[in-house]
Amino acid sequence: MVSSYIIYISTVIFATVFAGLAQKYCYINKKGNVVPNKMFWFMSMGILVFIMGFRDLSVGVDGGNYLRIYKNINELGVIEYIQNTTHEPGYIIFNRLIYLIFNDFQWVLILSSLFIIFGVYKALEYEIKNISLPLAVFIFSTTQYFYYFGIIRLGMAVSIIAFAYRYILEDKKTKYILMVLVATMFHFSALFALGLIFLTQRKKGKFYKRNIIIIALIVPVAFFMVRAFIFPLINIDRYQRYIQSSIIGIDLGFLPWLPFLFLFLIHYNKFVRTRKNYQFYFYLYIMRIVTEMSYPILGGGRMIWYVYLSVCFLLPATVRVNKNKFVKLILLVVIIFFSIVYSYHAYFASYSYRGPTMFPYINIIFQ
């Protein structure tokens, strides 16, 4: 177990350090955009991909299920499998292509890991002028990265939506809708991300404050509508555990994250004055809180992952907009401490759903 902890901790540290070097040695490309140093940025990305993608099948949740899906797809063929299951066609084709090219399930883990990390890193890279990349990578790798050890389909969909955030910020909603449709090819829950197109902007690009009310009303109302009108039509075994477990109530899993909402509210005016992008991520964070509060209505909380990345932008932004060095230091200490504690309780503790599956860490390269 000690060796596994060393691997996980080293992964986070090196990914963070290389992200810092990538930002320190950033440059302006031919299009006039600031971009991170490619070598260090790819090294940061590569460490996360290597540890996730080259892991043994026993590391992480649902490995056996994904192997079974891979085998069934290639025994039945794409058309017959689509006709007889409810799995997303994009993921089915992804598995089939890997079988035809590599004939090895390990490549499902490798390429899906690359897909997930690449999408997230492109989303972070887009904000290089507005956030600290090493802090953003640290927050992601401690609070979210380990969740995707086994949650392949959802992770691929989330990475597509994260990349597509830019189209909301650039008011290119048609492109954003197309990206959401692509994401649904890997996980149907990506339709939830269509809700972001309702975030209204002024002509100058700033977002209206009424978006807070829109989010607070639309998310729970939409969940109730799905429960009332869609659930009765579903008789597929795969979804019965969500339907049968759905209840009317509030989940309290959002409570550890609630203090950050107040922190962001305090800094809201600074966000607005500094960059409109901060304002957008602030609304994503509100959607994350409201969604997690409301998810018992649907019996599942997968939707929060489409807006979870917002914290990776807002926490570094909060540090950046503060001019007082002492306040910056306190915020950094709190963020680092919280991220480490959260990571342990969510992914590694014995009482965590994922904890027992993370040990021992086995890599197919250095078993």
pLDDT score, position 212: 72
pLDDT score, position 250: 60
Whether residue 99 contacts residue 73, with contact meaning beta carbons closer than 8 Å, is answered with yes
Mean pLDDT lowest for which of 17-21, 37-41, 247-251?
247-251
Q: What pLDDT, in 10s, does the model give residues 204-240? A: 556 666 777 777 777 766 666 666 555 555 555 555 4
pLDDT score, position 196: 85
- Domain span at residue 206? 199-321
pLDDT score, position 13: 98
Q: What pLDDT, in 10s, does the model give residues 316-327? A: 999 988 889 999
pLDDT confidence tier of residue 367, bands split at 50, 70 and 90: low
- Does 256 map to a domain? yes
- Domain count across the chain: 2
Do residues 70 and 129 share a domain?
Answer: yes
Do residues 19 and 120 share a domain?
Answer: yes
Average pLDDT value for residue range 107-120: 98
Q: Is the pTM of this model over 0.85?
A: yes
Do residues 10 and 119 share a domain?
Answer: yes
Do residues 136 and 78 share a domain?
Answer: yes
Asked if pLDDT for residue 299 goes beyond 80, the answer is no
- Does 185 map to a domain? no
Sign for the CA dihedral angle at 65, 67, 68, 74 comes to positive
Angle between helices 310-321 and 258-266 (to 10 degrees): 40
Out of 80-84, 178-182, 350-354, the most confident range is 178-182
Q: What's the distance, CA 193 to chain centroid?
A: 12
Do residues 97 and 32 share a domain?
Answer: yes
Cross-strand pairs, 55: 363
Do residues 239 and 281 share a domain?
Answer: yes
Whether residue 261 contacts residue 234, with contact meaning beta carbons closer than 8 Å, is answered with no
Q: What pLDDT, in 10s, does the model give residues 234-267? A: 555 555 455 455 555 566 677 889 999 999 988 8
pLDDT score, position 107: 97
Return the number of other C-beta atoms located less than 10 Å from residue 258's C-beta: 13
Average pLDDT value for residue range 308-318: 95
- Does 171 map to a domain? no
Out of 8-12, 62-66, 246-250, the most confident range is 8-12
Q: Which residue has the higher pLDDT, 285 or 291?
A: 285
Do residues 225 and 344 share a domain?
Answer: no
- Does 183 map to a domain? no
- Mean pLDDT over the full length of the chain: 88
Do residues 30 and 109 share a domain?
Answer: yes
Do residues 39 and 5 share a domain?
Answer: yes
End-to-end, the C-alpha distance of the chain in Å comes to 14
- Does 187 map to a domain? no
Asked if pLDDT for residue 142 goes beyond 70, the answer is yes
pLDDT score, position 243: 46
pLDDT score, position 187: 93
Instruction: Give the SS3 label for residue 85.
Output: coil
